[in-house]
Amino acid sequence: MSSYVEKALVQGEQVLYLGRISLWSLFPQLFFGALLTPIVIGLFILVPALIKYRSTELAVTSKRVIAKFGFVSRHTIELNVAKIESVQVEQGVLGRMFDFGSIIVAGGGNPFAPVPGIANPLGFRRAFLEAQEQSLARKV
């Protein structure tokens, strides 16, 4: 089964960076879900966390930033690299220790597009900045 990102690519567009949700950002749900699994309540905590992990796709392409959330219903954010004005990274203490955080993409007509719990958010931001530089270089 191909991913949403692969299906969404247009001609000449290349994936530069694939991001993912950090398991550390889901640690409380995974811990309490596993702890409470023997009394079945844990499955109601554990399964949604695993679905969130498996169904979230993040990518920086040569033309766009793509984020897809959801398993049954789908929510996507697709922003043109040239139209994005800023990418903010938010990390708490645990996020800094375990290398996860949230990125907030802002730009042209879309005030904020948050992507929470991403692994290696600084790597995602770096890939975006490189894609944006390449996009600007092609226009010149």
Tell me, rounded to whole angstroms, the distance of Cα 27 from its chain centroid. 17
Residue 100 lies in a domain: yes
Residue 8 lies in a domain: no
| Domain ranges, residue 37 | 14-139
CA distance 43 to 33: 6
* Main-chain dihedrals φ then ψ at residue 20, nearest 5 degrees: -155, 165
Measured CA to CA in angstroms, residue 15 lies from 11, 118, 130 at distances of: 12, 17, 12
Which of 96, 94, 82, 71 lies closest to 129, judged by CA?
82
Instruction: Centre a 10 Å sphere on the Cβ of residue 6 and count the other Cβ atoms it contains.
Output: 11
Residue 3 lies in a domain: no
Report the number of distinct structural domains present in the chain.
1
pLDDT band at 24 (very low <50, low <70, confident <90, very high): very high
Number of alpha helices (DSSP H) and beta strands (DSSP E) in the chain: 5, 7
Residue 50 lies in a domain: yes
- Residue 78's CATH number: 2.30.29.30
Residue 57 lies in a domain: yes
pTM value is: 0.83
Q: What is the mean pLDDT of residues 100-117?
A: 82
The answer to whether residue 45 scores a pLDDT higher than 70 is: yes
Q: Report residue 111 as tokens.
A: 């005030």
> 6-17: per-residue pLDDT in tens?
998 999 899 999
